[in-house]
A = this chain, B = another copy of it.
Amino acid sequence: MKLIENWFSERYSDNLQLSFRVKDQLLSLKTDFQRIDVFDTYDFGKLLSIDGTVQLTEKDEFVYHEMISRVPYNMMKRKPETVLIIGGGDGGAAGEFIKLGVKKIVNVEIDGQVVEVSRKFFPELYSSFSNPSVELLIDDGIKFMKKNKGTFDLIVVDSTDPVGPAEGLFNIDFYKDAKGALKDDGLIVTQSGSPFYQPKGLSLAASGMKSVFKNIKVYTAFIPTYPSGFWSFTMGSDAEIKPYFHNVSPGKYFNKGILDGASLLPEFVKELI
């Protein structure tokens, strides 16, 4: 009788952690940018962790990926035709824009090893990169934006949290570069952390975007394997940001009601913005 249990724990603070029982650790890798681990969990299928924080699991990745793509897609007056994804090396966000019929998706991931890990362990997500609409570049997103002015309708910042390699993706200079790479009526969206455990992350993203764009809008989604289960996304644009309902066919999480309601925020979240 085997009495040893294997658990992977993400520490949300010194005083709180969520633990997944795992069948096995499938990979542990130190890249030039970060540490990557893959676990085979009992309840959530395969789990990708970067620097000890859960990035995605097979069971609930649909929430994050649907919400970082379909909400901004439907909040722009003109259907976005050119999308830049910064980060997103797993392929999940690109996959959603393929489903939405976007024909030009440029995915700039700084760490080629993330793509390699996705190829091996998350082939369904990785398969996005073989779609003819998707161009994958292993490059620094900030440098890429500086070289590609006025090019994109929509920029999606699908990054890790504002510590480590993604640090430069949460400040005013970054948003200025993003504005430069966007067309005049373009929109940027970024994941902006847990309003409950990381209120400063959301405040930072919101205030940074406010100083660069005429309009911002925050929305939230329920993601069980992220800290507190509650996650925020922040959008900025010089055009009006509101539901235009280009394509609200239901996913597993997203639907028309979610588009209507995702920006209706709890009072303590409104106070952070």
Contact with B along A219-251 (1 / 0, CB 8 A): 010101000111000000000000000000011
Bound Cα distance A250, B270 (Å) = 11
Partner among B43, B230, B250 whose Cβ is within 8 Å of the Cβ of A13:
B43
CB–CB B19/A42 < 8 A:
no
CB–CB B229/A253 < 8 A:
no
Bound Cα distance A220, B218 (Å) = 19
Chain A residues close to B by CB (< 8 Å): 9, 13-21, 41-44, 60, 63, 196-197, 220, 222, 224, 228-230, 250-255, 257-258, 260-262, 264-268, 270
Bound Cα distance A16, B17 (Å) = 11
Partner among B16, B41, B44, B268 whose Cβ is within 8 Å of the Cβ of A253:
B268
> Among A41, A253, A257, A266, which residue has the most Cβ atoms of chain B within 10 A?
A266
Partner among B17, B255, B268 whose Cβ is within 8 Å of the Cβ of A252:
B268
Partner among B196, B224, B255, B267 whose Cβ is within 8 Å of the Cβ of A255:
B267
CB–CB A258/B253 < 8 A:
no
Bound Cα distance A255, B263 (Å) = 13
Partner among B17, B19, B44, B228 whose Cβ is within 8 Å of the Cβ of A229:
B228
A259's nearest neighbour on chain B, judged by CB, is: B264
Partner among B16, B18, B255 whose Cβ is within 8 Å of the Cβ of A16:
B18
Chain B residues positioned under 8 Å from A228 (CB to CB): 222, 224, 229
User: Could you tell me the distance in whole angstroms from the C-beta of A187 to the nearest C-beta in chain B?
Assistant: 21
Chain B residues positioned under 8 Å from A230 (CB to CB): 222, 224, 229-230
A253's nearest neighbour on chain B, judged by CB, is: B266
Other A-B pairs beyond A15-B20, A16-B20, A16-B43, 20, CB < 8 Å: A13-B43, A15-B42, A15-B43, A16-B21, A18-B19, A60-B196, A63-B266, A197-B224, A222-B222, A222-B230, A222-B266, A224-B229, A224-B230, A229-B230, A250-B267, A252-B267, A255-B266, A255-B270, A258-B266, A260-B264
| Given contact pairs A43-B13, A229-B229, A260-B261, A224 touches B252 in the complex (Cβ within 8 A) | no
Chain B residues positioned under 8 Å from A264 (CB to CB): 257-258, 260-261
